[in-house]
């Protein structure tokens, strides 16, 4: 079943995200499951 998130939810962030690193050209999200996602900043 799919659920869309339309607003920030602090409980969900704390439940699933381990850390967020911010770099000059991108940021990296590491989930508690140890999966990491790099997202490039838009130009």
pLDDT digits (tens, 9 = 90+) for 21-42: 999 999 999 999 999 999 999 8
Q: How confident is the model at residue 5 (pLDDT cuts 50, 70, 90)?
A: confident
What integer pLDDT is reported at residue 1 of this predicted model? Answer: 87
Domain that holds residue 31: 10-40
Long-range contact list for 3-12, CB < 8 A, 24+ apart? none
Residue pair 41/25 in contact by the 8 Å Cβ criterion = yes
Domain presence at residue 34: yes
What integer pLDDT is reported at residue 35 of this predicted model? Answer: 97
Residue pair 39/29 in contact by the 8 Å Cβ criterion = yes
Domain presence at residue 30: yes
What integer pLDDT is reported at residue 19 of this predicted model? Answer: 96
Domain presence at residue 18: yes
Domain presence at residue 4: no
- Complete edge-to-edge strand list for the sheet that includes strand 36-40: 17-22, 26-31, 36-40
Considering its fold, how many domains does the chain have in total? 1
């Amino acid at each position: 079943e799919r659920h869309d998130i339309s607003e920030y939810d602090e409980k969900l962030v704390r439940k699933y995200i381990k850390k967020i690193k911010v770099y000059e050209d991108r940021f990296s999200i590491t989930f508690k499951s140890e999966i990491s996602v790099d997202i490039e900043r838009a130009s």
